[in-house]
Structure 1
Amino acid sequence: MSVTPKGIPIILDLDPGHDDAIALLLALASPEVELLGVTTVYGNQTLEKTTANALRVLDLVGRDDMPVAPGADRPLVRDLTVASHVHGDSGLDGPVLAPPTRAALDERAVDFMDRTIAASDAPVTLVPTGPLTNVALLLERTGGANIDRIVLMGGAIAEGNMTPAAEFNIWADPEAAQAVFSSSIPTAMIGLDVTHQAVTTPAVIERLVATGQVGAFVADLVEFFSVYHRETYGWDGAPIHDAVAVAHLIRPGLVTTVHRNVEVELVSELCRGRTVVDLWRRTERDANADVGVALDTGGFFDLLVERIGRLA
């Protein structure tokens, strides 16, 4: 009797958020990973709203078995700022979704992650796509025991989307981000340098709609998400930031990375949250992250459309 092998055990740490919702759907549709649970954090909206959004997306695809644990509702030391200017009042504006049919777990994210990781037969990969507060708190508690690696969406080598210098997830809680990059856990930084290569086109939207109900939902997400990016960048689409982090995990080779040192600026007001990447090895600092530098855009969207189609 043959046994179907399980995928890489992962926990998604999300702040849904349009691109977080798409990342969650991609993970659910991909046998390369075994999603052990979802934890939520403030970011694209308040914790209450991001948690509700995670539950609503899971309801959409009939996954009320997937545990959802709410986490940090504010940064470690900074004031709370949410990205409502991008994601709207609900954090998931655009498509119409019913209220969640269940409540989240009565267990905090760090407790859930600690318990779930300790119980896993194989080391667990963390995939955080929001501010890194939950992950920093977990590392402070456990030191990273039984964590295989961290594949995060955040940062950039040379641009920002919250300020000229910083990407939002890192800017929101730079102290948490620095704690993650300072840990001994292998870390991949999937930043704006590659996620800004994952911008949807009308042709991609047509392909998503053709896959069925879930694809049409994703297209509706992108339609709203595109408004900000059209006004800001002049793009006729939106970057699916967070799904690129999941795709990097399930399809090695889509994202090209280089092993480099990454430090987070904590002091400068002008450059708060900048990920200072030693791309050309100008310092003697040890490399501590695999930094995304290029994306196979066509391959990424082929994968996304095919997997979303599986959920139809």
Structure 2
Amino acid sequence: MIPLDATNTISVTEEFVSEFQQHQQTYEAQYCFQSLDKSYYMWDSFAAGVALSSMRNGEVDGENEFSELEYMNITVITSNKPYGKRDGSNPFFDGRATPKLGLKEGGVHSGHVQTGIRDSFCLVPGSNRGRCEDGYTREVSGPEGVRVRVATRAKPNTDKNSSLEKEFSKSFLEVLNRPEQTGLFNINTQFPYYREVLYKPVFRNVSRGKPVIFDMDMSPGDFVSLIYLLKTPIEVIDLKAVLVNGNGWANIASIDIVYDILHMMGRDDIPVGLGNTTALGIPTLGCNNSYAIPHGSGGFIDSDTLYGLARSLPRSPRRYAPESLDHPEDRQPLALEVWQSVRKQLDPGEKITVLTNGPLTNMANISLSDRDASSVIERVYVVGGLIKDGGDENGNLFTVPSNKHAEFNIFLDPLAAKTVLESDLKIALIPLTAQRKAASFRAVLAALEDIQHTHESKFVHELLSLLQELQIKQKLYHHLDIFLGEILGAVYMVEGSGLKPSVELKPVSVIANTNKSTDGQIVISKNSAKLVRVLSDFDGEIYSKQLANSLANKRQSAVIGSFEEQKAIWSRPVNSSGNIKKQK
């Protein structure tokens, strides 16, 4: 075992960074140094080194070049003090005459077992730290422990002439720079004419439309909505910024796909701001309702790659970058920073329209941190929610079957939804009832097949066709039409009365009581003075045609259609006029 106690003794010192900077003879050494510059740690590398040394020298009692090792009797704690107390939470002891697995009465496995994220036993009032120790590793005596060989600390460097403190640090640099089994190329050698280009449009003598901020959580429907907004004439919609929720359907590094789509459409001028990775009021490293999103099929693993299609997009020079002490200017901009930047650029009297296609975390943080935000927001279009008003329609929260009337976007951060929907902001709600009318793969794909294609319409057609095929053939993908319904918000915001909508004013309230069976449900509240505009119906045929026609419009079309096109550009030289030389 190589615990943190040992890995923490491998520190990234100034001497190590300096030595590393001078020894980058291989592509892999160069790549690792760049990673080091972005807050890279040596924990995993050290663990691999200790493991390899043990394999070489004998795993039982062999010498290890990189770490001191000793045998300990350890266990993984599965419960909490007071040990031996029964409260129904411990399956090893509760209801059993003899403890399971031969565990000891009164031992570290005999107390309260944490029952969930919000287990009240574990919470400490007024603190972000809990008191439960489930999962801790501890040295113990007796049969509850297991004899394990444990790394305790990194060994010092045996080379007294070296500036490096640890033996592993020296070996790490030596191995990375060996010419044997080295990488064959990097992007500059793979593509001899590789260059980074930012595409920024010039809108001369054009009257710009209403300023819009798009707040998304990077689900497939959100990316189609983004492309649709980028296709809408600048005279109608002036997309000022994209905000990304870090607690929705994709991990935060998937923000690179947002950059790639903006690059494809020639809009590298649009800033992208990253929001919190947890729900409103939850500590940064805490958990939230994102547990409801599947990790596998139709969830994170697919969203993070846009169902395998992300690699077909042209690669933007702009990429996600974590915060770095050495280069703070390179880090990913935050949602609140982008909001403030857009607000400062507004002309006197100008107001922003916001479209939210994910949890309302960003919008809630904006309204709470900028108390005057409502004065510059024209309206917030909220895609999400199911209004529970006596009907028998169920929500779409298929991973939490006890909650029959919630919708994902609201459930993922119910407190944020309550903050926004019950605020003084003007709200237009596009609930699940309306989204379901737009969630027909057959209707949308049929409309897309009747048009003259652009690069972007082909990409959307390929994505939606893939989602339809997965939904038909694989049970785990039964829910994919919920992403199709999300596109309605963008089309409704742009087309408005053109969709022949039916709109009702309703006094709504959001349940946010930390109960997973009711969290995120929207109810009619006669005590509420706040009325929300709710889209109840629209013309589905017009909707599909408008979406398809917009994607087919040659205006504001992709400036670079795919990664294949980009590779071709990087493989040919540029002549003196700046044009790419054509192959004979």
- TM-score (ref. length: structure 2): 0.49
Equivalent position to 2:333, from 94, 107, 110:
107
Give the AA of the match of 2:276. Answer: A
- Residues 1:4 and 1:33: Cα distance change in structure 2 (over 3 Å): same
Equivalent position to 1:54, from 252, 255, 258:
258
Cα deviation for residue 227 of structure 1 reads 5.3
Matched, 1:245 2:489: yes
Q: What is the SS of the residue equivalent to 2:276? A: coil
- Residues 1:228 and 1:270: Cα distance change in structure 2 (over 3 Å): farther
The equivalent residue for 2:87 is none
User: Counterparts of 1:203-218 in structure 2 under 5 Å?
Assistant: 204-209=444-449, 210=451, 211-218=453-460
Matched, 1:272 2:519: yes
Deviations 1:206-251 (A, max 9, x none): 4425423221211222133335654489799665233211112111
Gaps of 5+ in 1: none
Equivalent position to 1:140, from 352, 360, 368:
368
Cα deviation for residue 47 of structure 1 reads 1.8
Question: Which segment drifts farther, 186-195 or 56-65?
Answer: 56-65
The equivalent residue for 2:298 is 86
Deviations 1:174-219 (A, max 9, x none): 0000000121010011111111101234453244254232212112
User: Counterparts of 1:225-240 in structure 2 under 5 Å?
Assistant: 225-226=467-468, 229-230=471-472, 231=475, 240=484
Taking the aligned partners of 1:239 and 1:40, their CA distance within structure 2 comes to 16
Contact 1:9 1:125 in 2 (8 A): yes
Q: What is the SS of the residue equivalent to 1:28? A: helix
Give the AA of the match of 1:86. Answer: G
Give the AA of the match of 1:213. Answer: H
Taking the aligned partners of 2:443 and 2:489, their CA distance within structure 1 comes to 22
Question: Which segment drifts farther, 263-272 or 295-304?
Answer: 263-272
Find the structure with the greater CA-based Rg: 2
Taking the aligned partners of 1:239 and 1:90, their CA distance within structure 2 comes to 13
Equivalent position to 1:152, from 382, 386, 407:
382
Taking the aligned partners of 2:448 and 2:266, their CA distance within structure 1 comes to 19
Equivalent position to 2:312, from 97, 122, 141:
97
Give the AA of the match of 2:384. Answer: G
The equivalent residue for 2:129 is none
Equivalent position to 2:396, from 161, 170, 175:
161
Taking the aligned partners of 2:540 and 2:531, their CA distance within structure 1 comes to 26
Taking the aligned partners of 1:238 and 1:153, their CA distance within structure 2 comes to 11
The equivalent residue for 1:28 is 230
Cα deviation for residue 269 of structure 1 reads 2.7
Contact 2:272 2:333 in 1 (8 A): no
Equivalent position to 1:118, from 344, 357, 361:
344
Taking the aligned partners of 2:494 and 2:260, their CA distance within structure 1 comes to 24
Give the AA of the match of 1:93. Answer: Y
Higher RCO, 1 vs 2 (CA within 8 Å, ≥6 residues apart): 1
Taking the aligned partners of 1:182 and 1:11, their CA distance within structure 2 comes to 20
Taking the aligned partners of 1:67 and 1:237, their CA distance within structure 2 comes to 29
Gaps of 5+ in 2: 1-203, 321-330, 388-392, 559-584
Taking the aligned partners of 1:37 and 1:235, their CA distance within structure 2 comes to 29
Equivalent position to 2:539, from 289, 292, 296:
296
Question: Which segment drifts farther, 266-275 or 129-138?
Answer: 266-275
Taking the aligned partners of 1:83 and 1:48, their CA distance within structure 2 comes to 18
Taking the aligned partners of 2:479 and 2:335, their CA distance within structure 1 comes to 36
Give the AA of the match of 1:166. Answer: A
Contact 2:298 2:476 in 1 (8 A): no
Equivalent position to 1:39, from 243, 257, 277:
243
Identity %: 23
Q: What is the SS of the residue equivalent to 1:290? A: strand
The equivalent residue for 1:129 is 357
Taking the aligned partners of 2:494 and 2:462, their CA distance within structure 1 comes to 25
Taking the aligned partners of 1:126 and 1:107, their CA distance within structure 2 comes to 19
Alignment: residue pair count: 306
Q: What is the SS of the residue equivalent to 2:359? A: coil
Give the AA of the match of 1:205. Answer: L
Taking the aligned partners of 1:195 and 1:259, their CA distance within structure 2 comes to 18
Q: What is the SS of the residue equivalent to 1:86? A: coil
Contact 1:258 1:291 in 2 (8 A): yes
Cα deviation for residue 15 of structure 1 reads 1.3
Taking the aligned partners of 1:41 and 1:52, their CA distance within structure 2 comes to 13
C-alpha RMSD of the superposition:
2.6
Taking the aligned partners of 1:20 and 1:273, their CA distance within structure 2 comes to 20
The equivalent residue for 1:223 is 465
Q: What is the SS of the residue equivalent to 1:252? A: helix
Cα deviation for residue 67 of structure 1 reads 1.5
Q: What is the SS of the residue equivalent to 1:135? A: helix
Contact 2:506 2:534 in 1 (8 A): yes
Contact 1:165 1:272 in 2 (8 A): no
Deviations 1:240-292 (A, max 9, x none): 233211112111122322111121111233121111145xxxx2422431112
Equivalent position to 1:11, from 195, 213, 233:
213
Equivalent position to 1:193, from 423, 433, 452:
433
Taking the aligned partners of 1:68 and 1:86, their CA distance within structure 2 comes to 25
- TM-score (ref. length: structure 1): 0.88
Cα deviation for residue 115 of structure 1 reads 2.5
Taking the aligned partners of 1:8 and 1:180, their CA distance within structure 2 comes to 21
Question: Which segment drifts farther, 165-174 or 216-225?
Answer: 216-225
Give the AA of the match of 1:298. Answer: E
